[in-house]
Structure 1
Amino acid sequence: MTFTNLTKKNTVLIMIGVMMSILLASLDGTIVTTAMPKIISSLQGFDYYTWPMIAYLLCITISMPLFGKLADMYGFKPVYIFGIIVFFIGSALCGVSQNMMQLIFFRGFQGIGGAILISNSLAIIGVLFAPAERAKYVGIASSAGALASIVGPSLGGFITDNFSWRWVFYVNIPIAIIALIIIILVLPTHKAEERKKVDYFGAVALIVALVPMLLAFTWAGKDYDWNSVQIVDMLIFSAVMLIIFAVIEIKAEDPIIPMTLFKNSIFNFSAIEMFLISAVMMGAAIFIPLFVQEVTGSSASKSGAILTPMMLSLIVGAMVSGVLVSKTNKYKLQAIIGFVIAVIGSALLLNLKVNTSNLQIIIDMIVLGFGIGIVMPIFSVTAQSAFPESQIGVVTSSTQFFKSLGQTIASSILGTIMSTVVTNGLKDLDTTGLPASITSVLKNPNALTGGGDSMKSIAAKLPKEMLPRFMKLIEDIKGILSNSIHSVFVICVVMSILALVVVLFMKEIPLSNTKNSAEQ
């Protein structure tokens, strides 16, 4: 499968459409976060606070391999158009949701469209450009995702405060329409020479395997203990279903995730690295704003603004990496350098304390973002270059599957680590002599959030002689939260080091300057 005789103008327009699609799918993963408090207030769904995000991420993770295979079979254009339409309809339905169950369902539907947009956007780049050029354009396209990370939370808060939370979803509609028009008019029809049966049994087996596993990682340590019957049974069931899925894929005429991919060491290394580096990035993106807002006492808007330098350095790193790979036709040295910088950046986060300045946090995050930016585009390119162009769709979607899986598992496991450390720390908090009503508030993890408003209201009612002790306890509580986030960053450092060690053993294959010479 190859695009031929494309003019420079058409190539630019296709890239614009691709970047708008990536922006759509990525923005919807971040813009909703700041709107969720008003959403649950409007729809009366506090108990389901995280489920709209989980539904979106689950459906993205599960759908990527299936639609990557469909793109290889039926061509990128019809699948891509279908993805934009699904995302368009899903956004509109989310906006008109009347209760949390509707919103959760529609978010999952929207996630299917998001999966198509993310996986097939990178696959289209893989066909548009020669292997040595791909890193540069993957880096450029990935900047749309980074832009979504930068503006998403702030934009979501602005829209929610000034209009309605429903417009957080409606804002997707005009962008989707523009992207749809561009893709219909400019993207060439592009089909494989031979069609095979869709591996529906494999798709069902993968869904049945992944849903309980991801739910187990989401619930463990929060709703159920890690060693509870519910969590253990779900993980065992998932393991059995993954084995069944592998058997189905081996026998399938045209599997969703061909087991032959795992015979290629380049693919295996790329999948592992995408999993690890996306987990590290997720750890920083989730817990740095929490640290800034709740430990150092900065405002929510400022905590969002502090993420900006990291994402900007990530964009710069991705572009620098792409240019270097394009010029040298090599990638291993850049990957090693990127991981070394990522290790340094994640290690710097271990120094964060209650009295750490925002400037120091920004510097640390710039270092980490630059390292992540260098390595992130590399492994899509290397995996694509290790296979013929007829498999680019499934290879790309499979590597993105591992990236999404890393984000999902990291979110739940790191959150569990933080909450466990906080809970244990609050249990040991010495509140001797304080009224029981105040003690119960101080030892409630919910008191750690909300910018300390609950603590201020309590302090205003206390006798003056109790204030010094109370304020000392507040500092102790900030220390507990700081320690819990420190534990999260320890895991991020370990994952960064593991990623560095893994890349040292990765074989480097030459990247061709022509479109049709991908390695078998």
Structure 2
Amino acid sequence: MENEKSKGSKALNIKLLLGGLMISLLVGALDNSIMSTAMPQVITSLGGMAYYVWPFTIYLLTSTIAIILSGKLSDIYGRKKFLITGIIIFITTSVLCGFSQNIMELTFFRGLQGIGGGILMTIPFIVVAEVFPPRERGKYMGILSSVFGFANVLGPVLGGFITDFMGWEWVFYVNIPVGIAAIYMLRSYFPNLELVVKEGSIDYAGIVTLTAALSGLFLGLTFVRDTAVSSGLAATLFIFAAVMIVLFIYAEKKAREPILPMKLFKNSIFNVSSIAMFLSSAVMFCGIIYIPLFIQGVQGMSASTSGLLIIPMLVSLTVASIATGQVISRTGTYKKLGVLAFVLLTIGIWLLSTMNTSTGYLALVIYSTIMGIGTGMMYPIFNVAVQNAVSLRDLGTVTASMQFFRNIGATVALPIFGVIVNLSVNMNIQTAKNVPPELMSLGIHNVFLSGLVISVAGLLVCLFLKEKVLASRGGFEGDKKELHGK
């Protein structure tokens, strides 16, 4: 009787834990999806079509840095503290974003918001990896990852209607109640996990050099233009970024507690998974950012309509994520699923590249749904693969690393996509609020073609992923970690 009561209590605690983690993850995931349909109206209001991707990219840049830091620092100082801090940062900066008066202010505040977002996108996955054994992680990773799909379904629709009927500023204010709910859940149900590293040092050299490298790369990609001055500035920034990357690698080899241990790159599963996450993320954001722009900028529909039209893609993303996690848990394998995911992603982005001003709504929905299935399958596959290939001590770092490479893929790709659109349009849109549909269609077509090349490269890389049988033991042990407590 007591044994049954104990099992029931444990099951309840697991549900409460997952609920708290999913709400906290929703806070960060909802923001990006809401922005996708709101951004065309933001440009109409604030101007600056040439800077269309900046608020997305700066967010990804700062969240990428926060991701790689939060994995290691939460090893030292604890998951709960970092997660709640991340939510507070996110809520505060959301309010600041809503008060922005021009595109540069919005970009700056989005950069600050990304710090909180990076924390929120990392810690939940680390907690799941600690609590559950590898064989079960696929199922729970799929459930947790479904938050992205739910947010991606709710976000564009919510963002579209909020933008049309309340104003784009309110897409940021909606984060406040969700964030408060997440803090309440975490304070009540977050598990008491032992510190992985009880005595650790902070890798300040790694933090500084990585931040400098990513910032230089981001600015360099942003300033790529067809003028001699901008090209020279971009080249200088690229050289600076390359030097910082070399210094970062050197710092990590010398660091006592590196934020990105170089030893991880001796593991082929980690290497292939990192590249796959990098490339798949670039293609995913190619669709998430530019499909709404195609609907509004080329087909002339409202923000709310664009949100409704991409619902099938985002529903398929959610279902595919959950289903893939279940399949991984039942079969204990993942490579074939990874290859299949890239095949579907490649087909989807190829079909999207064939769209033009005469493309109908049904075709757009079908093409984007295929892409959504491939994208959704990616979420649990590579996280489970790398977590199964490292020791418990490296679990937090390696999970954060996967999120890092996922973010860096979009961070690098979005400025490139922005340059492709600007060069394709071939007109002075520095402060333009409207671009002719034919020119916008050409620019987006070229972006999807570049996404196709990236997706094919990801498919080829995934063929080299080694299969390692997922263990049925490990993860949470009742005498070491408790699934209750405040």
TM-score, length of structure 2 as denominator length: 0.88
Corresponding residue number in structure 1 for 2:354: 351
* Aligned amino acid, residue 81 of structure 1: I
For residues 346 and 55 of structure 1, the distance between their equivalents in structure 2, rounded to whole angstroms, comes to 24
Cα–Cα, structure 1 residues 181 and 365, in superposed 2: closer, same or farther, change >3 Å? same
Shift of 1:44: 8.9
Structure 1 residue aligned with 2:441: 482
Note the C-alpha offset of 1:202: 0.9
Which stretch of structure 1 is more off in the superposition, 387-396 or 228-237? 387-396
SS of the counterpart of 2:121? Answer: helix
The one-character-per-residue Cα deviations of 1:45-84 (angstroms, maximum 9, x if unpaired) are 8997654444322210111111110111222122212212
Is the 2:283–2:455 contact (alpha carbons within 8 Å) kept by the matching residues of 1? yes
The reply to whether residue 258 of structure 1 matches residue 266 of structure 2 is no
The one-letter amino acid of 2:459's match is: L
Q: 1:514 aligns with which of 463, 473, 476?
A: 473
1:12 equivalenced with 2:15 (yes/no): yes
**Per-residue Cα deviation, 1:394-436 (whole angstroms, up to 9, x for no partner):** 111111111111112221112212322221xxxxxxxxxxxxx
Query: CA offset at residue 14 of structure 1?
Result: 1.6
Residues 1:360 and 2:319 aligned together? no
Shift of residue 105, structure 1, vs aligned partner = 4.0
Question: Relative contact order, CA 8 A, sep 6+: which one is greater?
Answer: 2
Return the alpha-carbon distance in structure 2 between the equivalents of residues 485 and 168 of structure 1.
Answer: 25
Q: Counterpart in 1 of 2:402?
A: 399
> Structure 1: how far apart are the matches of 2:152 and 2:298?
22
Matching residue of 2:199:
195
Equivalent pair of 1:59/1:111 in contact (CA under 8 Å): yes
Q: Which moved more, 1:339-348 or 1:254-263?
A: 339-348
8 Å CA contact 1:309–1:362 kept in 2: the answer is yes
2:310 partner SS: helix
Q: Which amino acid aligns with 1:489?
A: F
| Matched letter for residue 124 of structure 1 | V
For the pair 1:213 / 2:217, whether they are aligned, the reply is: yes
Shift of the alpha carbon at 1:195?
1.6
CA distance in structure 2 between the partners assigned to 1:167 and 1:516 by the alignment: 41
- Is 1:497 aligned with 2:456? yes
Change (3 A) 1:269 1:49: closer
User: What's 2:326 paired with?
Assistant: 323
Structure 1 residue 257 displacement after superposition: 0.6
State the alpha-carbon separation in 1 of the partners of residues 42 and 211 from structure 2: 28
> Residue 19 of structure 1 aligns to which amino acid in structure 2?
M
Distance 2:41 2:142 in 1: 35
> Are 2:452 and 1:413 equivalent residues in the alignment?
no
1:30 Cα deviation (Å)? 3.2
Q: Percent identity?
A: 43
Instruction: Specify the SS of the correspondent of 2:359.
Output: coil
Query: What does 1:454-493 align with in structure 2 at a 5 Å threshold?
Result: 478=438, 480-493=439-452
- Matches of 1:239 and 1:159, distance apart in 2: 42
Give the deviation of 1:226 after TM superposition: 9.7
For residues 490 and 111 of structure 1, the distance between their equivalents in structure 2, rounded to whole angstroms, comes to: 28
Q: Which residue of 2 aligns with 1:245?
A: 248
Correspondence for 2:65: 62
Q: CA deviation at 1:17?
A: 1.5
2:131/2:475 contact within 8 Å kept: no
**Residue type of the partner of 1:189?**
N
CA–CA separation in structure 2 for the residues paired with 1:361 and 1:55: 29
Structure 1 portions without partners, runs of 5+: 424-442, 453-476
1:49-128 equivalences under 5 Å are: 51-95=54-98, 103-128=106-131
Shift in alpha-carbon separation, 1:353–1:169, aligned structure 2, 3 A: closer
Q: How far did 1:205 drift?
A: 1.1
Which residue of the partner structure matches residue 236 of structure 2?
A: 233
In 1: Cα distance, 2:102 partner to 2:446 partner:
37
TM-score by structure 1 length? 0.82
Match of 2:289 among 286, 291, 309: 286
Instruction: Measure the CA separation in 1 of the matches of 2:334 and 2:258.
Output: 30
- Counterpart contact for 1:127–1:392, Cα < 8 Å: yes
Distance 1:372 1:53, change over 3 A: closer
Is the CA contact 1:275–1:402 (under 8 Å) kept in the aligned structure 2? yes
Change over 3 Å in CA distance of 1:47–1:170 after alignment to 2? same
1:172-212 residue CA offsets vs partner (Å, 9 max, x unmatched): 12211211121122112221253211111210111111101
SS at structure 2 position matched to 1:10: helix
Greater shift after overlay, 113-122 or 482-491?
482-491
Change (3 A) 1:226 1:125: farther
Q: CA deviation at 1:482?
A: 3.3
How much has 1:160 moved relative to structure 2? Answer: 4.1
Verify the 8 A CA contact 1:83 1:112 in the aligned structure 2. Answer: yes
Q: Provide closer, same or farther for how the CA distance between residues 397 and 77 of structure 1 changes in structure 2, counting only shifts above 3 A.
A: same
Cα distance 1:485–1:37, how it changes in 2: closer, same or farther (>3 A)?
closer
Structure 2 residue runs of 5 or longer lacking an equivalent are 1-5, 477-486
Q: Distance in 2 between matches of 1:100 and 1:491?
A: 26
Query: What letter is aligned with 1:509?
Result: K
Alignment of 1:435-450 (within 5 A): 450=434
Structure exhibiting the larger radius of gyration computed from Cα positions: 1
Letter in 1 for 2:207: A
1:337 and 1:39 map into 2 onto residues whose CA distance is 37
Give SS of 1:505's match.
coil
Q: CA RMSD in A?
A: 2.9
- State the one-letter code of the partner of 1:120: I
Cα distance in 1 between the residues matched to 2:136 and 2:198: 28
2:292 is the alignment partner of 1:333 = no
The answer (yes or no) to whether the contact 2:50–2:418 under 8 Å persists in 1 is no
1:308 alignment partner, one of 311, 320, 327: 311
Structure 1 residues 152 and 113: alpha-carbon distance in aligned structure 2, compared to 1, 3 A threshold: same
Does the aligned pair in 2 maintain the 1:269–1:503 contact within 8 Å?
Answer: yes
1:277 aligns with 2:280: yes
Tell me how far 1:154 sits from its aligned partner.
3.5
Task: Find 1:154's aligned residue among 153, 157, 162.
Answer: 157
CA deviation profile, 1:302-321 (whole Å, cap 9, x unmatched): 23322111111111111121
